[in-house]
Amino acid sequence: MSRRQLILNALLLLAACALPLVVSDYRVFQFNLVLVYAIALLGLNLLTGYNGQISLGHGAFYAIGAYCAAILMDKYGVPYWATLPVAGAVCLLAGFLFGLPALRLEGLYLALATFALGVSLPALLKYHHLEKWTGGVQGIVIAKPDPPFGLPINSDQWLYYFTLAVAIVMFVLAWNLLRGRVGRALVAIRDNHIATEAMGVNNAMFKSLAFGVSAMYTGVAGALGAIAIQYVAPDSFNIFLSIVFLVGIVIGGLASISGAIYGALFIQFVPNIADDISKAAPWAIFGIFLLGFVYVMPMGIAGAVRMGLARLQRKAQNK
């Protein structure tokens, strides 16, 4: 990372840390959700943006992560922070397993298969044989974690810092992964999988791993989301959640880490603005934004920012 990027990131980090101290609890809660979505979108972007495998069902992994956290906390009294590794591991496995048959599916067909997963998941969550654990249609209510060591902050703020810490770790991990050999392999597979196969890259392994890691990220996000909302129910995890994630990465910027943050801000705050415009319109506005970005800004906000910065740099150089 260049020195300038490093400074920018440090400033951003500072701002993120200072945030809860200056805004109301309600805003802290909202930004907590932004961080949660950012992790989820990073997961989806890993798979779809960097590796080219389209997933319309990532809401399912978010749901699995959320239910892991809820079941562990409610039925087994596991402390909230310990549910994250478990949620991550379960989703890593689930994603990998789903990725195996998905290896044979290209583009639209993979989209279709993941779409089917996204549509059918709520019904699976309500399955009465699983009711003992999932709480069935009633869902599970979980308790809000208190700040540890008697720190002088309230639970909203504590949860925000906790989520922020997790987010930083996961973003750094992803950044490391993507700029190394693995990242290059993923992108190469996306752009020309025949060539990579011919070159000796193990396509199958990379693609399945991409699925697994992507699911793990989104699963951890789901767990964090469940802890923030304090409630999981099948109704929360329908196909529209998966579609919202897709909207997030397209608008935020595909194949971009910062895109996850832009996308998360978008999906968290735009529906509220849309609500003010028209009660029935939020989804129509999502749809129109989607179309707009696909035609006009296919690289998303991240891409636009990058181009904008590059242009400024060139102007400065030309002077």
Candidate list 29, 153, 154, 299; residue touching another protein; CB under 8 A: 29
Q: Left if phi > 0, otherwise alpha if psi is -120 to 50, otherwise beta: which for 24?
A: beta
CA–CA separation, 230 and 145 (whole Å)? 10
By CB under 8 A, is residue 269 in contact with another protein? no
Q: Should residue 200 be labelled a site residue for another protein when binding is judged by CB under 8 A?
A: no
Rounded CA-CA distance 108/50 in Å is 17
Q: What is the CB-side half-sphere exposure of residue 122 using CA atoms within 13 A?
A: 16
Which of 10, 83, 62 has its CA nearest to residue 267? 62
Does position 146 bind another protein by CB under 8 A? no
Q: Which stretch binds another protein (CB under 8 A): 67-75, 259-267, 291-299, 311-319?
A: 291-299
Q: Could you say whether residue 62 binds another protein (CB under 8 A)?
A: no
**E strand intervals along the chain:** 140-141, 231-232
Residue 132 found at the interface with another protein (CB under 8 A): no
Cβ closer to another protein: 51 or 258?
51
State yes or no: residue 136 binds another protein (CB under 8 A): yes
Place of tokens 């920012």: 305
Q: Which residue has the tokens 């008697």?
A: 150
Pick one of 166, 224, 243, 257: the residue that binds another protein (CB under 8 A). 243
Which residue of 134, 236, 256, 258 would you call a contact of another protein, by CB under 8 A?
Answer: 236
Give yes or no for residue 139 binding another protein (CB under 8 A).
yes
288 burial via Cβ count (<10 Å: 0-12, 13-18, 19+):
exposed
Measured CA to CA, the distance from residue 141 to residue 157 in angstroms comes to 20
> What residues line the site for another protein (CB under 8 A)?
24-26, 29-30, 33, 48, 52, 54, 56, 101, 104-105, 107-109, 111-113, 115-117, 119-120, 123-124, 126-128, 136-139, 141, 194, 225, 229-231, 233, 235-236, 240, 243, 246, 250, 254, 271, 275, 278-284, 286-288, 290-291, 294-295, 298
